[in-house]
């Protein structure tokens, strides 16, 4: 982070806070557009929202505290297909704030919900017919009229479901993305992308459909999709074959024929049984500027210029040392882990997770990278994180960890970067860590 602050001799990230989300596995992490709110979703269908405390004398930067917790999704059963529908929250997206309340979309495999989160610190008192305890008075006993008044009460944050967008996805929803027109959003599953109006729940438009006429011909699935940050007609979707398609909704109602196809030619020397599996894209994110997009595959992060389809402009190896371990990672299913990736506020640094609760940052300008660890043992508030190093053959140096002792059960799939500040949120299995750059 110090790179961003202009000091070049070392990177410093200090531990700020550790938030335990009791027992449930975190499945998504998302800041709102100003970074003051941070929402997490978990496997149990719960959404927990944290709020950044206002700056005070002791700390120059606010920490995050729980603001609201609510049950977004419940387990359901699809009787037609005899399938259980998990309550796990796959994605959360904030809507730009328009009034005092906050709105967010949350989705599990099948159903998207729009939630309103609002504050209440006053309550009406002194009704003529309603008593304080909720009982109603006999109107005949009312002899004088009074004017109800608002009395202050302890701040209450309420979450209420506003809309439920259901029955439009046959397969599992992997992405939702709010359009820059602030009126529509998209949802993507394994084979289709749908477009919704935020006000209309009983109808969506299918804008991509890659389902083959015969399911036996299926060779590719959609893995992620996102709207361009400022061109409301443009969106991208990525696939299990490592390609990204950019679509223009002005061209046709059904965007099956993409406007651009981004794909890196395969290096014939690297072909193996695992080539296709590890090239599957687990996440795609536009830069804030809208000029680039970033994709994450199993071993790397790639940055693409929207004006160049033939190859990425930058490639960062996340954990290249795992290339020789793909066989065992296939056997223990880790090779199918879906790592996400994120940009910092001005697109100069990107971040993504790895195993052993390591996460990686890549400074694009300086071509520097760093490995850090989210762990309770070495995290005292305000302590500076020591960069970690994995030894890749040869003699292991002091402080290095060997590839064979990495713990593949500890993984960081979900990370988020505060849009305006050097604060990051990193989710290990059921803990959330907040880090900030040291200079603040
Ligand atoms: C990003 O912002 C930091 C200040 O926070 C600045 O030092 C750095 O040069 C910026 N990078 C780019 C690419 O604009
Ligand atoms: C994010 O949340 C904060 C805290 O309530 C709010 O002040 C801010 O306006 C929100 N930002 C956006 C862009 O929604
Ligand atoms: C091929 O493998 C080498 C290392 O074995 C790696 O550096 C290179 O990036 C790979 N090429 C592609 C296109 O993945």
Q: Are 244 and 236 in contact (CB under 8 A)?
A: yes
The pLDDT of residue 2: 36
Pick the atom of ligand 2 nearest to 51's CA.
4
Pick the atom of ligand 1 nearest to 348's CA.
13
Instruction: Give the span between the Cα atoms of 434 and 417, in whole angstroms.
Output: 10
Listed range (266-270, 339-343, 353-357) with the worst mean pLDDT = 266-270
Spatial CA neighbour of 224 closest among 239, 241, 206: 239
The pLDDT of residue 340: 98
Q: Which ligand is nearest to the CA of 320?
A: 3
Q: Assign residue 126 a region (left: φ > 0; alpha: ψ between -120 and 50; beta: otherwise).
A: left
Instruction: Give the span between the Cα atoms of 413 and 27, in whole angstroms.
Output: 8
Residue reference for tokens 């790639």: 302
What are the two backbone dihedrals, phi and then psi, of residue 246, each rounded to the nearest 5 degrees? -105, 130
Pick the atom of ligand 1 nearest to 422's CA.
5
Supply the DSSP symbol for 355: B
Give nearest CA residue, ligand 1 atom 11.
Answer: 348
Mean pLDDT of the chain: 88
Reported confidence tier of residue 266, pLDDT bands at 50, 70, 90 = confident
Q: Which of 31, 32, 180, 423 maximizes ligand 2 atoms within 8 Å of its Cβ, making it the mutation to test the pocket?
A: 32
Q: What is the dihedral of CA 111, 44, 160, 127, to 10 degrees?
A: 150
CA 439 to ligand 1 centroid distance, Å: 15
pLDDT in tens, 36-75: 999 999 999 999 999 988 765 555 566 888 899 999 999 9
The pLDDT of residue 414: 97
- Whether 263 shows a pLDDT value over 50: the answer reads yes
- The encoded tokens of residue 135 equal 């009982």
What does pTM read for this prediction? 0.88
Give nearest CA residue, ligand 3 atom 10.
Answer: 270
CA 347 to ligand 1 centroid distance, Å: 8
Question: What is the pLDDT averaged over residues 227-243?
Answer: 96
Pick the atom of ligand 3 nearest to 279's CA.
14
Give nearest CA residue, ligand 1 atom 6.
Answer: 4
Question: What is the pLDDT averaged over residues 201-224?
Answer: 94
CA 235 to ligand 3 centroid distance, Å: 29
Instruction: Give the span between the Cα atoms of 283 and 295, in whole angstroms.
Output: 6
CA 4 to ligand 1 centroid distance, Å: 6
Give nearest CA residue, ligand 2 atom 3.
Answer: 36
**Any ligand 3 atom below 6 A from CB of 270:** yes
Give nearest CA residue, ligand 3 atom 5.
Answer: 270
Residues 6+ apart with CB under 8 A from 116: 101, 102, 103, 159, 160, 161, 162
Q: Which ligand is nearest to the CA of 68?
A: 2
**Any ligand 1 atom below 6 A from CB of 4:** yes
Spatial CA neighbour of 392 closest among 316, 280, 317: 317
CA 438 to ligand 3 centroid distance, Å: 35
CA 37 to ligand 2 centroid distance, Å: 7
- Whether 9 shows a pLDDT value over 50: the answer reads no
The pLDDT of residue 88: 96
Supply the DSSP symbol for 394: S
Instruction: Give the span between the Cα atoms of 270 and 275, in whole angstroms.
Output: 7
Give nearest CA residue, ligand 2 atom 9.
Answer: 97
- The total of other beta-carbon atoms located within 10 Å of residue 153's CB is 11
The pLDDT of residue 362: 94
Instruction: Give the span between the Cα atoms of 241 and 264, in whole angstroms.
Output: 11
The pLDDT of residue 81: 83
Pocket of ligand 2 (CB under 6 A): 32-34, 36-37, 96-97
DSSP string, 308-376: --SS-SEEEES-GGGGGGHHHHHHTTGGG----EEE-TTSSEEEEE-BTTEEEEEETTTTEEEEEE--S
Q: Of residues 23 and 104, which shows the higher confidence score?
A: 104
- The encoded tokens of residue 426 equal 């990193």
The pLDDT of residue 297: 97
Pick the atom of ligand 2 nearest to 32's CA.
1
Instruction: Give the span between the Cα atoms of 164 and 53, in whole angstroms.
Output: 31
What are the two backbone dihedrals, phi and then psi, of residue 309, each rounded to the nearest 5 degrees? -90, -20
CA 277 to ligand 3 centroid distance, Å: 15
**Any ligand 1 atom below 6 A from CB of 348:** yes
Give nearest CA residue, ligand 3 atom 2.
Answer: 270
Q: Which ligand is nearest to the CA of 317?
A: 3
Q: Which ligand is nearest to the CA of 297?
A: 3
Check the CA dihedral 297-93-376-46 and report its sign: negative
Which strands sit side by side in the sheet containing 314-317, from one edge to the other?
A: 283-286, 292-296, 300-305, 314-317
CA 6 to ligand 1 centroid distance, Å: 8
Question: What is the pLDDT averaged over residues 380-403?
Answer: 81
- Whether 96 shows a pLDDT value over 60: the answer reads yes
Residues 6+ apart with CB under 8 A from 415: 29, 340, 341, 342, 351, 352, 353, 359, 424, 425, 426, 427
Listed range (64-68, 140-144, 346-350, 425-429) with the worst mean pLDDT = 140-144
Q: Which ligand is nearest to the CA of 103?
A: 2
**Any ligand 3 atom below 6 A from CB of 268:** no
Reported confidence tier of residue 154, pLDDT bands at 50, 70, 90 = confident
- Whether 272 shows a pLDDT value over 60: the answer reads yes
Q: Is 272 helix (H, G, I), strand (E, B) or coil?
A: coil
Q: Which of 30, 31, 34 maximizes ligand 2 atoms within 8 Å of its Cβ, making it the mutation to test the pocket?
A: 34
Give nearest CA residue, ligand 1 atom 1.
Answer: 346
Question: What is the pLDDT averaged over residues 257-274?
Answer: 84
Q: Of residues 437 and 264, which shows the higher confidence score?
A: 264
């Amino acid at each position: 982070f110090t790179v961003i602050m202009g000091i070049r001799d070392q990177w410093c990230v200090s531990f700020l806070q550790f938030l335990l989300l009791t027992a449930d596995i975190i499945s998504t992490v998302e800041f709102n557009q100003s970074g003051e709110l941070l929402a997490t979703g978990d496997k149990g269908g719960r959404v927990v929202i944290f709020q950044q405390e206002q700056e005070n004398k002791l700390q120059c930067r606010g920490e995050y505290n729980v603001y609201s917790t609510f049950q977004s999704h419940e387990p359901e059963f699809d009787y037609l297909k005899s399938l259980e529908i998990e309550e796990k929250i796959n994605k959360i997206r904030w809507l730009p704030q328009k009034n005092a309340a906050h709105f967010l979309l949350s989705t599990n495999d099948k159903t998207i919900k729009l939630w309103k989160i609002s504050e209440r610190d006053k309550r009406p008192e002194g009704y003529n017919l309603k008593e304080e305890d909720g009982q109603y008075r006999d109107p005949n006993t009312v002899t004088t009229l009074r004017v109800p008044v608002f009395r202050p009460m302890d701040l209450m944050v309420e979450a209420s479901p506003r809309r439920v967008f259901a029955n439009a996805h046959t397969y599992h929803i992997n992405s939702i993305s709010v359009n820059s027109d602030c009126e529509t959003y998209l949802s993507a599953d394994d084979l289709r992308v749908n477009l919704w109006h935020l006000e209309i729940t009983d109808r969506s438009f299918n804008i991509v459909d890659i389902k083959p006429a015969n399911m036996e011909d299926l060779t590719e699935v959609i893995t992620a999709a996102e709207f361009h940050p400022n061109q409301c007609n443009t969106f991208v979707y990525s696939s299990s074959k490592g390609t990204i398609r950019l679509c223009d909704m002005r061209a046709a109602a059904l965007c099956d024929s993409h406007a651009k196809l981004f794909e890196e030619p395969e290096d014939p020397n690297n072909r193996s049984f695992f080539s296709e599996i590890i090239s599957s894209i687990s996440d795609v994110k536009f830069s804030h500027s809208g000029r680039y997009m970033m994709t994450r595959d199993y071993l790397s992060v790639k940055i693409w210029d929207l004006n160049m389809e033939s190859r990425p402009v930058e490639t960062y190896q996340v954990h290249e040392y795992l290339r020789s371990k793909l066989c065992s990672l296939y056997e223990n299913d880790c090779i199918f882990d879906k790592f996400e990736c994120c940009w910092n506020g001005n697109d100069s640094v990107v971040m993504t997770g790895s195993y052993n609760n390591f996460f990686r940052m890549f400074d694009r300008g300086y071509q520097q990278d760093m490995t850090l660890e989210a762990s309770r043992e070495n995290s005292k508030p305000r302590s500076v994180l020591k960069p970690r190093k994995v030894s890749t053959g040869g003699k292991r140096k002091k402080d290095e960890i060997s590839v064979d002792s990495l713990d593949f059960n500890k993984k960081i799939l979900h990370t988020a970067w505060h849009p305006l500040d050097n604060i990051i949120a990193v989710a290990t299995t059921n803990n959330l860590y907040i880090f900030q750059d040291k200079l603040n």
